[in-house]
């Protein structure tokens, strides 16, 4: 790799690491999310121009922040004729610059950075935005992804994603959403939105809704990075640790979830020696932290406890399915989700026999919330096959394939239906 290419690769890596902190710090200073991102991008452009000649600075994050601040002062000064508040912000920025110049490096405390990041994540995940907008804005500002990368990740066009991000910023501005961390009950309420967005990103990477690929590991990595960041910023919130535990343990299976051709490999067929033991250990440690905080386990911690049962079992047959079923029962009572009930039926089928699991699934067939959900006939097909009703199982698996949007998953369901037909 040439020197210039190596520098550009270093700049890209720096941006992924530093962009969230940079935008968060700028948003606090200029009180405008759109302007903060614009300034950060301007600083990146200057880095692309200068660093190939001068080399990457010893503290690239501080260089980017200082450059962005200088540009902020210039822009705000030019706008003073239009709006008086920009004069005040520019004056405060200049004071901040003088303080930074006289202080020892890096000039920004760890606590300030943490506060800024918290403000940013609670802003990008504000409930005033649609779920799609929250995901796109979070990936952009906290994940450091470009518009084209987000478009590929969420299976949408660049134009749609760009409009979604622009509208999200406009919505936040028009709604007067403050760039701050909520407190008390509002923090707990808003935290649910933040965790939902992170888990949505992870899930789309872990089992892609549609398209040609069964998984998108890069999305899982982005979600894990966001989750770990939240765990550092909110160490007293058990559900944050619960979500991190869940994602770490689930991500540990990544290397075993597809074969060499990229086709899905189901849990019972996976080579568990390929599971990442470091991620499992980290996940179990996060689950211990969640439990140690003393609160009853929430939805993410309960799911992490289920994942831990699988991670600690040598095989599907040696899994503590009774415990898994009990955990799903607790999760169902907490969430009221029919999808959780469907998963509970699978666990019950392993714990107490497929006929018992099938009874639970049959009771879910009439639930309108599962209409069109491909995993309902998929699970029913599996249980029917296990009780010897192959012809019905083939029909269910074929229906599941017709409902599946992911091409790899559709092929898997059709293959299983064909195998049953050949018996």
Q: Give pTM, 2 decimals.
A: 0.79
The rounded distance, in Å, linking the Cα atoms of 230 and 243 is 10
Residue in 187, 176, 222 with CA at minimum distance from that of residue 203:
222
Predicted pLDDT of residue 112:
63
CA distances from 381 to 91, 265, 305, 324, 390 (A): 68, 17, 27, 21, 8
Predicted pLDDT of residue 45:
87
| Lowest pLDDT segment from 78-92, 144-158, 181-195 | 78-92
Give domain status of residue 278, yes or no: no
Give domain status of residue 6, yes or no: yes
Using the predicted structure, report yes or no on whether residue 108 has a pLDDT greater than 80.
no
The predicted-structure confidence for 210-265, as pLDDT tens digits, reads as follows 777 778 888 888 889 889 989 998 999 999 999 999 999 999 999 999 998 888 99
Give domain status of residue 17, yes or no: yes
Q: Please answer whether residues 210 and 155 qualify as being in contact, where contact means their C-beta atoms are separated by less than 8 angstroms.
A: yes
Predicted pLDDT of residue 170:
93
Using the predicted structure, report yes or no on whether residue 16 has a pLDDT greater than 80.
no
The rounded distance, in Å, linking the Cα atoms of 147 and 156 is 10
The rounded distance, in Å, linking the Cα atoms of 420 and 362 is 21
Query: How is residue 87 written in tokens?
Result: 């004069």
* Other residues' Cβ atoms within 10 Å of the Cβ of residue 320: 15
Predicted pLDDT of residue 113:
64
Residue in 23, 9, 1, 216 with CA at minimum distance from that of residue 113:
23
Predicted pLDDT of residue 412:
94
Give domain status of residue 268, yes or no: no
Predicted pLDDT of residue 333:
96
Give domain status of residue 165, yes or no: no
Give domain status of residue 48, yes or no: yes
Predicted pLDDT of residue 387:
96
Domain total in the chain: 1
Beta bridge partners of 258: 264
Confidence of residue 405 (pLDDT cuts 50, 70, 90): confident
Confidence of residue 275 (pLDDT cuts 50, 70, 90): very high
Give domain status of residue 140, yes or no: no
Range of the domain at 33: 1-108
Give domain status of residue 375, yes or no: no
């Amino acid at each position: 790799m040439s020197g210039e290419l190596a520098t550009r690769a270093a700049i890209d890596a720096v941006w992924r690491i530093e962009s969230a902190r940079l935008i968060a710090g700028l948003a606090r200073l200029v009180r405008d999310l759109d302007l903060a991102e614009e300034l950060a991008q301007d600083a990146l452009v200057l880095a692309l121009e200068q660093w190939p000649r001068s080399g990457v600075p010893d503290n690239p994050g501080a260089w980017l922040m200082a450059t962005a601040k200088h540009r902020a002062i210039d822009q705000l000064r030019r706008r003073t004729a239009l709006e008086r508040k920009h004069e005040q912000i520019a004056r405060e920025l200049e004071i901040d610059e003088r303080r930074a110049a006289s202080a020892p490096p890096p000039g920004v405390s760890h606590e300030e950075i943490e506060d800024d990041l918290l403000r940013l994540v609670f802003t990008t995940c504000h409930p005033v935005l649609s779920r799609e907008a929250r995901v796109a804005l979070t990936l952009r500002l906290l994940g450091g992804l470009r518009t084209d990368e987000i478009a590929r990740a969420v299976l949408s066009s660049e134009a749609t994603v760009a409009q979604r991000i622009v509208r999200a910023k406009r919505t936040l501005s028009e709604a007067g959403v403050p760039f701050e961390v909520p407190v008390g009950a509002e923090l707990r309420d808003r935290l649910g939105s933040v965790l939902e967005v992170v888990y949505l990103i992870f899930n789309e990477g872990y089992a892609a809704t549609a398209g040609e690929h069964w998984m998108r590991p890069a999305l899982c990595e982005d979600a894990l990075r966001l989750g770990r960041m939240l765990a550092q910023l909110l160490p007293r919130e058990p559900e944050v640790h619960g979500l991190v535990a869940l994602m770490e343990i689930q991500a540990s299976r990544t290397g075993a979830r597809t074969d060499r051709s990229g086709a899905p490999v189901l849990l019972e067929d996976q080579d568990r020696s390929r599971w990442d033991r470091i991620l499992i250990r980290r996940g179990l440690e996060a689950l211990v932290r969640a439990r140690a905080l003393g609160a009853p386990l929430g939805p993410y911690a309960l799911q992490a406890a289920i994942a831990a049962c699988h991670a600690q079992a040598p095989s599907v047959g040696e899994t503590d399915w009774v415990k898994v079923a009990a955990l799903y029962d607790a999760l169902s009572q907490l969430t009221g989700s029919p999808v959780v009930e469907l998963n509970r039926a699978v666990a019950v089928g392993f714990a107490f026999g497929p006929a018992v699991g099938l009874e639970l699934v049959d009771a879910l067939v009439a639930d309108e919330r599962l209409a069109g959900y491909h995993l309902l006939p998929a699970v029913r097909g599996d249980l029917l096959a296990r009780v010897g009703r192959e012809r019905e199982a083939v029909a269910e698996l074929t229906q599941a394939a017709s409902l599946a949007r992911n091409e790899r998953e559709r092929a898997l369901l059709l293959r299983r239906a064909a195998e049953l037909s050949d018996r």
